[in-house]
Chains A and B, each alone.
Chain A
């Protein structure tokens, strides 16, 4: 099998490529240049987009003895991921750019090109497994990335391989050190790769300009002001700078973002709880299910899981949560699981509190 290993310069993708070599596959390493103006050196906790990261990937490829190239996907990344990220925030949503990058770049632009060039699959260092072709959680629950891959269609997953999904991060690091890969102790990346200083609000303000408006509580009383609704996400507590505290002194959270009226609605933790989630653009691992079914849903990249009863429609679904959840934001993915196996995913469009709470 001839595969293209996407190598970010991090330890996960380096070990994934190494295991692909061990599997006897014909492996070519590719680093995706995603920034129009790459910095010379890595800064902060970003893990991919500097020339130093490209060089780390190259050095891993050298150790593995595989051909290595840098491919420029900066324009495509900007159009598909960064512009989408900004537009989603402008619409009052909370996007996940890593998910979008998997959907539009790694397993679309890159995969399409790889297949056309005669490769059979794209190999990445994601912490996830393919069990009988079905996307499943990594054995390392804390590092599991199946959530940001669940948007992939079965056709895309047929040409994907995730060689490190059956190992923990610690095992991956140990193996990297044993193999002599210099990235064995490279710090994990956390921040959004295209926001160099980690300041998402500042980035959005530069892209969208300041748009001052009111922060109101659930009954419409103005309790503060903001520089732009894009600075907020549902469930956010810090950074509100409210001028009027609640009578009881309990903390307030962002309940809703309303870009049309340029308003941010805040309220108590209890008001944040939702039990009905609507989602659109569903992707199923097989045929769309008829009727209701019970499964586990995950509503954020890390945590926020609940049992739910899902009702699937033609172009959307609703999930009634067994346990009410706080911080469910439009724009995030709703991913459905049967144990470790992914059943499908959809994009959250709205969430609310209903009477049909199943306690």
Chain B
């Protein structure tokens, strides 16, 4: 199998599996006061310190969650509600048009249920939020902005945002800034304090940790209303019994990813160059989407004119090559990507795209397999695309009529 979907999830590191498996054999609720509780608590707090150190934050700024989606929900909803409570004029939620659905749909929910005014910041053809775009959106009425949320790097096309400059613009008006760093944390030198962001989302399974583990880094002075209510385990902002094995796995994965980052990045860039060049040699009209320079090292996102992404995915899957057409929806239907549409692509280009993402287990043989397969696959998908055209005849793909063996009976009495 050739796995080129590391942005969806990347294989867990063997060290992480071991740490988690061992911890699963141990008893203890980190909130319990007895010995086994204290032992579990110690592991959680050590993990918190590791995570904080690697991501450039203070331990008290780490709030463990069930993953990226929960952290995004908590940041966008929680900061909005706290800011509005402090000043009812603050109703604007400024997010980029290319956010992950965890941010996008949280903001939409606020607009529908909490009187928020959702402002989608347009992006350029590479998917970047230009600083002047954010500046202009804030300048309309700085006192009305509750929160800004712009992802560190895009999950589909891999474009990296000018995050530090954007943070400065928000902070000129005292506006808190959240960033979804789910895709960035494993491959970029992400620093919470260094970047100046007020809240930052990370998740385990994109960088070698376990599914269902993540964290929101939340500045000490940032007010945030809880989304989950209960025991208040995490700084009274997040409730739920802490997942000691998952937390340990997350810290281990983040630490290992950081220690291997420089080496891995170089390798990913080398492989991606081979991949993109090889695909373009085989399919000269393939188009690279996203920023050609400021992009995640493992990300190659291409459009193949005349093809349906669905067809490409199925044909590659049949050859043992696994990749993605973009964001998968819950019904399994590939909708045209809102990211590509926001970047100005037409619906056909958006539908005819593939996301190939390399990661820590990728090899040159993986790349070769794709480069060898892609030409015939695109050719075949193109024929299907022609057959599917609404203007073509109803049996465009059918072979010419063949007489059937049966004898007509028209002349019977």
Contact = CB atoms under 8 A, between A and B. Distances in A.
Interface in A325-359: 338, 341, 343
**Interface size range on B against A:** 35 or more
Interface in A283-323: 285-287, 289-291, 293-294
A155 B395 contact: yes
A153 B395 contact: yes
B241 to A, nearest CB: 29
B317 interface: yes
Interface stretch (A109-117, A197-205, A221-229, A256-264): A109-117
Contact of B310 (A71, A134, A153, A291): A71
B406 A132 contact: yes
B410 A290 contact: yes
Contacts of A254: none
B387 A293 contact: no
A70 B409 contact: no
Nearest to A288: B410
Interface string A251-271: 000000000000000000000
B332 A69 contact: yes
A103 B406 contact: no
Contacts of B405: 132-133
Nearest to B335: A72
Contacts, number: 123
A117 B401 contact: no
Contacts of B311: 113, 117
A112 B397 contact: yes
B331 interface: yes
A33 interface: yes
Contacts of A338: 409, 412
B394 interface: yes
Interface in A99-132: 103-104, 108-109, 111-113, 115-118, 132
A54 B397 contact: no
A45 interface: no
Interface string A18-48: 0000000000100101000010000000000
Given A70-B331, A70-B332, A113-B388, A154 B315 contact: no
B165 interface: no
Given A79-B390, A116-B387, A51 B330 contact: yes
B334 interface: yes
A155 B398 contact: yes
Most buried by B among A31, A79, A115, A134: A115
A168 interface: no
A109 B388 CA distance: 6
Most buried by B among A70, A117, A133, A287: A117
B409 A343 contact: yes
A115 B411 contact: no
Nearest to A31: B332
B51 interface: no
Contacts of A113: 311, 384, 387-388, 397
A340 to B, nearest CB: 13
Nearest to A159: B398
Most buried by A among B332, B381, B406: B332
Given A154-B404, A285-B406, A28 B314 contact: yes
Contact of B401 (A79, A155, A294, A341): A155
Interface string A153-183: 1111011000000000000000000000000
A131 to B, nearest CB: 8
Nearest to A51: B331
B310 A154 contact: no
A76 interface: yes
B263 interface: no
10 A-B pairs with the lowest CB-CB distances in the bound complex, closest first: A289-B410, A112-B397, A112-B387, A116-B384, A70-B332, A116-B383, A115-B397, A116-B387, A51-B331, A108-B394
Interface of B: 310-311, 313-315, 317-318, 330-335, 380-381, 383-388, 390, 392, 394-406, 408-413
Interface of A: 28, 31, 33, 38, 51, 54, 58, 67, 69-72, 76, 79, 103-104, 108-109, 111-113, 115-118, 132-134, 153-156, 158-159, 285-287, 289-291, 293-294, 338, 341, 343
Given A28-B318, A67-B314, 12 more contacts: A33-B331, A67-B318, A112-B388, A112-B392, A113-B388, A116-B397, A153-B401, A154-B404, A155-B398, A285-B406, A290-B410, A291-B410
